[in-house]
């Protein structure tokens, strides 16, 4: 199949162009589009055949449910049975934005979307392009990240094309995404809401509204089954094996430099995923990718997937990654780095 490309302005997208993209979605096709987090691969979320196309194009396991994206908060009522008070408080505060709520689903939501669960994940994105496109379809749009299953989520149209060109009907190019990691997922069907995936809305922000938040224990342990089925897969993985160093800032930097030196001496081609501060101290012969400044988790989140993808073009034997503090967006960054490393973690 030949993939069509549409270019639009991120703040003032051309309505004619988005209408063409919306028509493709309404007629059952697949369209990748930018959101404020990462690019999504959209399909008509009420049409099982269209949804099945997403799983085919991505090579995604069918037990991994999808998020339904809506254009207005009121549209959630069509999809879920009840909205508990704490879910309503989160919607009022953080929608539109990078927050996905898991709620009890209504029968209108196809099993293909929920992977057979009795809950559904819903999100109101903040991106003008995403909301306008969804609004023009008049439908809830099912949209996972627009990558091949297991690869890093795309934050540019080029990264979408590298994975999905020829496999989907169209790509809407609206430039790079703002946040760079996926939305936060919170399950609001439990008495105390449970964080299933850290993301663009931080744990501190959730606590500020809710007072208390459970954290799915599987987020920090490799041996438990996560409540968000997709979190069990080794995602975001670069092609080379990666080791993540965690601990105090200065110890991490020192240990990383030592590890890199050793590996170079062993004749390995070495890659490093590091802060600007640590990069300045590395031997010059290694392939390093800088994710930003150590204390600026927002900047790091924004660059993270591109940094991981950069090793596709520069093959190495091993990658060492520098861990950061888990405060703010750091929690989402560290969650993605741990998964990218396949939980090969060195505490220093
Ligand atoms: O930022 C985002 O959320 C992006 C953009 C495109 O909106 N989308 C995204 O979708 O990251 P995806 O499919 O890559 O990740 C969705 C996650 C998966 O881990 C899935 O298992 C989980 O959401 N999920 C979906 N429905 C669920 C449900 N009913 N209960 C628990 N987890 C659910
Ligand atoms: Mg994904």
**Residue 236 clears pLDDT 90, i.e. is over it:** no
219 CA distance to ligand 1 middle (Å): 15
**Which of 41, 51, 70, 100 most suits a substitution to test ligand 1, by most atoms within 8 Å of the C-beta?**
100
**Residue 221 clears pLDDT 90, i.e. is over it:** no
Q: What is the pLDDT, as a whole number, of residue 239? A: 80
Q: Tokens 């979408």, residue?
A: 160
- Domain-located, residue 288: yes
168/211 same-domain check: yes
* Residue nearest ligand 1's atom 21 by CA: 230
248/336 same-domain check: yes
Residues with CB under 5 A from ligand 2 (ion): 145
High-pLDDT (> 70) share of the chain, %: 100
3-state secondary structure the chain: CCCEEEECCCCCCCHHHHHHHHHHHHCCCCEEEECCCCEEEEEECCCHHHHHHHHHHHCCCCCCCCEEECCCHHHHHHCECCCCHHHHHHHHHHCCCCEEEEEEECCCCCHHHHCCCCEEEEECCCCHHHHHHHHHHCCCEECCECCCCCCCCCCCHHHHHHHHCCCCCEEEECCCCCCCCCCEEEECCCCCCEEEECCCCCHHHHHHHHCCCEECHHHCCCCCCCCCHHHHCCCCCCCCCEEEEECCHHHHHHHHHHHHHHHHHCCCCEEEEEEHHHHCCCCCCCEEEEEECCCCHHHHHHHHHHHHHHHHCCCCCEEEEECCCCCCCHHHHHHHHHHHCCCCEEEC
The answer to whether 302 and 178 are in contact (CB under 8 A) is yes
**Residue 235 clears pLDDT 80, i.e. is over it:** no
Per-residue pLDDT reduced to its tens digit, 73-103: 999 999 999 999 999 999 999 999 999 999 9
213/321 same-domain check: no
Which whole number is the average pLDDT over 38-53? 98
Which whole number is the average pLDDT over 112-120? 97
Highest average pLDDT, of 130-134, 236-240, 264-268, comes from 130-134
203/250 same-domain check: no
Q: What is the pLDDT, as a whole number, of residue 226? A: 93
Residues in Cβ contact with 149 at an 8 Å cutoff, skipping those fewer than 6 apart:
58, 59, 60, 61, 233
The domain boundary, picked from 219, 252, 271, lies at 219
203/287 same-domain check: no
264 CA distance to ligand 1 middle (Å): 39
Ligand lying nearest the CA atom of residue 38: 1
300/250 same-domain check: yes
Supply the range of the domain harboring residue 159: 4-219
The domain boundary, picked from 158, 187, 219, lies at 219
Which whole number is the average pLDDT over 109-137? 98
Mean pLDDT lowest for which of 59-63, 128-132, 159-163? 59-63
Question: Could you give the count of Cα atoms lying within 13 Å of 285 in the half-sphere of its Cβ?
Answer: 10
Q: What is the pLDDT, as a whole number, of residue 150? A: 85
**Which of 59, 94, 121 most suits a substitution to test ligand 1, by most atoms within 8 Å of the C-beta?**
121
196/301 same-domain check: no
Structural domains in the chain (count): 2
167/288 same-domain check: no
pLDDT higher at 136 or 312: 136
Question: Could you give the count of Cα atoms lying within 13 Å of 143 in the half-sphere of its Cβ?
Answer: 33
**Residue 58 clears pLDDT 90, i.e. is over it:** yes
177/247 same-domain check: no
92/215 same-domain check: yes
Per-residue pLDDT reduced to its tens digit, 16-41: 999 999 999 999 999 999 999 999 99
- The CATH number that applies at residue 55 is 3.90.870.10
- The count of other CB atoms within 10 Å of the CB of residue 208 is 10
High-pLDDT (> 90) share of the chain, %: 89
- The CATH number that applies at residue 268 is 3.40.50.11030
Which whole number is the average pLDDT over 119-133? 98
- Domain-located, residue 327: yes
List, edge to edge, every strand of the sheet that includes 242-246: 287-292, 270-275, 318-322, 242-246, 345-347
Compute the mean pLDDT over every residue in the chain, rounded to the nearest whole number.
96
241 CA distance to ligand 1 middle (Å): 25
Highest average pLDDT, of 87-91, 238-242, 338-342, comes from 87-91
204/251 same-domain check: no
Q: What is the pLDDT, as a whole number, of residue 79? A: 98
Which whole number is the average pLDDT over 258-279? 95
Per-residue pLDDT reduced to its tens digit, 274-313: 999 999 999 888 889 999 999 999 999 999 999 998 988 8
* pLDDT-derived band at 234, boundaries 50, 70, 90: confident
Q: What is the pLDDT, as a whole number, of residue 47? A: 98
304/249 same-domain check: yes
Q: What is the pLDDT, as a whole number, of residue 315? A: 86
- Domain-located, residue 228: no
Ligand 1 surroundings by CB, under 6 angstroms? 35, 37-38, 40, 64-67, 98, 100, 102, 114, 117, 119-121, 123, 143-145, 182-183, 185, 196, 227-231
């Amino acid at each position: 199949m030949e993939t069509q490309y549409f270019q639009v302005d991120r703040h003032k997208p051309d309505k004619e162009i988005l209408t063409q993209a919306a028509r493709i979605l309404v007629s059952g096709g697949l369209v990748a589009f930018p959101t404020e987090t990462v690019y999504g691969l959209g399909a008509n979320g009420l049409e099982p055949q269209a949804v099945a196309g997403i799983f085919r194009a991505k090579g995604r396991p069918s037990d991994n449910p999808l998020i339904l994206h809506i254009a207005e908060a009121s549209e959630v009522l069509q999809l879920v049975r009840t909205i508990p008070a704490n879910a309503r408080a989160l919607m009022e505060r953080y929608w539109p934005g990078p927050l996905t709520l898991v709620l009890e689903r209504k029968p209108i939501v196809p099993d293909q979307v929920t992977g057979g669960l009795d809950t559904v994940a819903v999100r109101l994105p903040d991106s003008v392009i995403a909301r306008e496109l969804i609004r023009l379809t008049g439908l809830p749009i099912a949209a996972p990240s627009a990558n091949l299953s297991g690869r890093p989520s795309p934050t540019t149209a080029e990264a979408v094309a590298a994975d999905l060109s020829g496999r989907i009907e169209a790509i809407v190019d609206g430039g790079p995404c703002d946040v760079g990691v996926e939305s936060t997922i919170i399950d609001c069907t439990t008495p105390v809401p449970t964080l299933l995936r850290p993301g663009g809305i931080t744990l501190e922000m959730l606590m500020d509204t809710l007072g208390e938040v459970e954290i799915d224990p599987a987020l920090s342990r490799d041996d438990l089954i996560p409540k968000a089925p997709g979190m069990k897969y080794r995602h975001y993985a670069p092609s080379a094996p990666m080791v993540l160093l965690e601990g105090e800032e200065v110890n991490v930097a020192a240990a990383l430099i030592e590890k890199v030196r050793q590996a170079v001496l062993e004749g390995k081609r070495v890659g490093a995923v590091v802060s600007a501060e640590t990069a300045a101290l590395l031997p010059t012969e290694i392939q390093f990718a800088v994710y930003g400044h150590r204390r600026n988790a927002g900047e790091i989140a924004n660059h993270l997937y591109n940094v991981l993808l950069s090793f596709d073009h520069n093959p190495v034997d091993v990658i060492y990654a520098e861990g950061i503090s888990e405060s703010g967006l750091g929690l989402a960054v560290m969650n993605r780095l741990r998964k990218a490393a396949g939980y090969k973690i060195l505490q220093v």
